[in-house]
Amino acid sequence: MKQLENVRIFGGEQQVWQHQSATLNCTMNFAIFLPKQAKTEKLPVLYWLSGLTCTEQNFITKAGAQRYAAQHKVIIVAPDTSPRGDDVADNESYDLGKGAGFYLNATQQPWAKHYQMYDYIVNELPALIAEHFPVNGKQAISGHSMGGHGALTIALKNPQRYSSVSAFAPIVAPTQVPWGQKAFQHYLGDNQTQWTQYDATALVNAETRLPIRIDQGDKDSFLTEQLRPELFLDACRAHHVACEYYLRQGYDHSYYFIATFIGEHIAFHAKALYQDSEALPL
């Protein structure tokens, strides 16, 4: 791996690393915040998945999460949102191709060669983090918009891997909204059975026991057409699954919204990550 950035913040270090991904067949960046305790302890990890058009930079520069991660002794890993490189397939639309990986494994050409973001997030990246950083094996996952979709689907498909899941303004039912339908048609083809494997509303079931939290702004311009949280909440109620849901008055889809409530999300995850510990951080 190659270190690209290392900045001191709230007693810890905000780093950006580059590596060659075997899963994505390209060079990838990821950001990692290491609290000061990481110098002497192995700590749990919160994975953050960003939304459409983002890279690893958006979250680390706009969310203000490092203050709370330092307080709660949580490492945060923020990967890029898609494969990158001159030979990676792309599209002129902002919601397809680079910056729009949708955290799935593409099966259709020209996407399948590189767009294997699900396997990258679930398998390759955690293995890389475990090899090179002081982590204790406990993981949680969160994200925003397209990344909220990714966090929910990945956690619901792999409940044994994550202590908790949360999302800001997630695309909860991509098979039923334009963003998801466009991406799934291109990445996965016509087989809609495959589509439902990446749809949180379709994946939630009576066996779901993970702590789940969703925050949504009521002034979000994408709320009624693209996000539709009521579909996921209805599915949770139908299966008697608990979900903490907060509709935030006056907030939109931006990082101003995320920065306002990220501290609550990190506290939510820290509670789950440290639930078996006698020394729960404040």
Q: Which residues are catalytic?
A: 145, 220, 253
Instruction: Return d(Cα 150, Cα 250) in angstroms, integer.
Output: 25
Instruction: Return d(Cα 246, Cα 179) in angstroms, integer.
Output: 23
Please name the residues in contact with 240: beta carbons below 8 A apart, sequence gap of 6 or more.
Answer: 206
Rounded to the nearest 10 degrees, how much is the dihedral formed by the CA atoms of 52, 58, 59, 65? Answer: -150
Contact 75/135 with Cβ under 8 angstroms? yes
Quick one: tokens of 144? 């925003």
Contact 12/104 with Cβ under 8 angstroms? no
Instruction: Return d(Cα 50, Cα 52) in angstroms, integer.
Output: 7
Instruction: Return d(Cα 182, Cα 8) in angstroms, integer.
Output: 41
- Strand, coil or helix: what is 273? helix
β-strand partners of 57: none
Instruction: Return d(Cα 260, Cα 168) in angstroms, integer.
Output: 11
